[in-house]
Amino acid sequence: MKDLFSTDLNVVNVGLASFAANIGRVGGAYTDLRWQPPALADIETGLDLARLTGHPAVEAANAEAHRRYISAQPVLTGVALARTVIPGLTERRILHAGPPIEWHDMCGPVKGAIAGAILYEGWADDLESAEALARDGSVALEPCHQHGAVGPMAGIISPSMPVFVVRNSAGENTAYSNFNEGLGKVLRFGANGPAVLDRLRWLGTEFFSSLSAGLAQLGDLDLKPLIAQALHMGDECHNRNVAATGLLLKRLVPALLAADLDGAALRRSVDFIAGNDHFFLNLSMAACKAMLDSARDIPNSSMCVAMARNGVNFGIQVSGTGDRWFQAPANRVEGLFFPGYGIDDAAADLGDSAITETAGIGGFAMAAAPAIVQFVGGTAADATENSRRMQAITIGRNPAFTLPALNFGATAGGIDVRKVADTGILPVINTGIAHRAAGVGQIGAGLTTAPALCFNQAVEALASDVIEAVAA
């Protein structure tokens, strides 16, 4: 001991940073390790995590899940009315974003959007009657993810709405998403006035016909290369889709011209896409859904295949645990607010668009889009650091999506619920902020994270399943 204290020491501090700071104040050298107990210090979850860590069955299952996710090839095959292609979307059924939730528990924007969809379908003549139908169960309300679909913010898809059809050409699964309405007073933020419904009717008639004709001329469109190119042009394909929308329009315009459409209808359709920088978002979401659904239902896999929010709860689904949802209260979004609004005006985290982060883009690819910080807050260095940090919680990387700012390194892909619970590093999500009241619309944008409790629940459930399978 005497010899120890007669030499120059470099103290390794684990715990309160103030202990290390005291050593530094007297001129000592120290290394401060930021460490916290895994699994929110829950002993039982920690034991389950230990059982799953390095488990051969889990490692093999994850390798297969990640292989399928990497191999998936999302292809836009066309557009269709939702009731004709989405399994189970029958009359008097509306799909919404996030995990399951009852009408009386829903947030304002989702309730407003559902009421607007009921008016759009003609099931009611006024908002009061529309809300009554939803409240008494006359209209079934179910998550988009339950039907192979995704939608941003409120995420509403009703039977007569048009949807993109995205098929995984390397597998057998298909994903769907609604059309992006643009910004302002739109259904996805809970607006349901006459102008909103008129726009929806135009999207479902003239625009739908024009786009359908153009895509018939274009043929199948591979979305993965388009997303990869957009990442090299400053998008992260969640909150910034400027390049991706431009690339899509570049492909669509010649096809629309070849379709020999009415000139006025063609002009209105092209103007709409060109004026909506977020138009590609819904395609990005459907592509990510198609990639992740290909990795579903692999027994023992700890890979997260969905993250979704309904403005009240945040839910995740895991490949090895089937269709079960693991839920916790949705976090608030910290970011930049439009003038006149603040955090007290905001709804909690909302929408299916976190499917982009689940697939390794969006917040996971912020290093590709330094300009996004002007919209969501932070600095360009923060954006790059977020992309680096996410590498600690994934099974591997996605070589199809590379980030110039990281020397063209691949994005982190395939969230491993074990690693999230173990490290305490939570998936970062960049997102729009909706007003908590229906119809006000977007009031800002920012960053949030998935709640840690969801991943604890998933670890517990997966450990139970793995132990039972081994015992059997």
What is the chain's length?
472
Report the pLDDT value the prediction gives residue 376, as an integer from 0 to 100.
83
Q: H or E stretch including 82? A: helix 82-85
Which of the residue ranges 25-34, 58-67, 238-247, 428-437 would you say has the lowest mean pLDDT? Answer: 25-34
386 φψ region: left (φ > 0), alpha (ψ -120 to 50), beta (else): alpha
Tokens of 220: 């199948």
Q: What is the pLDDT of residues 295-321, one digit of tens each?
A: 999 999 999 999 999 999 999 999 999
- Judged against a pLDDT cut of 80, whether residue 111 lies above it is answered with yes
How many Å apart are CA 420 and CA 253, to the nearest integer? 43
* Mean per-residue pLDDT, 101-105: 97
Q: How confident is the model at residue 32 (pLDDT cuts 50, 70, 90)?
A: confident
- Judged against a pLDDT cut of 80, whether residue 330 lies above it is answered with yes
Collapsing DSSP states into helix, strand and coil, what is residue 187?
Answer: helix
Of 294, 223, 225, nearest to 71 by C-alpha is 294
Q: How confident is the model at residue 5 (pLDDT cuts 50, 70, 90)?
A: low
How many Å apart are CA 281 and CA 322, to the nearest integer? 27
Strand 313-318 and strand 304-310: the pairing is antiparallel
Q: What is the pLDDT of residues 143-183, one digit of tens each?
A: 999 999 999 999 999 999 999 999 999 999 999 999 999 98
Tokens of 45: 């979850």
Q: How confident is the model at residue 4 (pLDDT cuts 50, 70, 90)?
A: low
CA distances from 139 to 121, 159, 252, 350, 391 (A): 11, 12, 36, 22, 42
**What domains does the chain contain, in order, with CATH numbers?**
2-33 (no CATH), 43-69+296-471 (3.90.1700.10), 73-286 (3.90.1710.10)
Tokens of 408: 């063209």
How many Å apart are CA 196 and CA 190, to the nearest integer? 10
78: Cβ contacts below 8 Å, ≥ 6 apart: 165, 212, 215, 216
Q: Is the whole-model pTM more than 0.85?
A: yes
CA distances from 441 to 232, 312, 339 (A): 31, 17, 13
Collapsing DSSP states into helix, strand and coil, what is residue 7?
Answer: coil
* Mean pLDDT for all residues in the chain: 94
* Mean per-residue pLDDT, 115-120: 98
How many Å apart are CA 417 and CA 41, to the nearest integer? 16
Q: What is the pLDDT of residues 371-381, one digit of tens each?
A: 888 888 888 89
Of 333, 131, 371, 135, nearest to 236 by C-alpha is 371
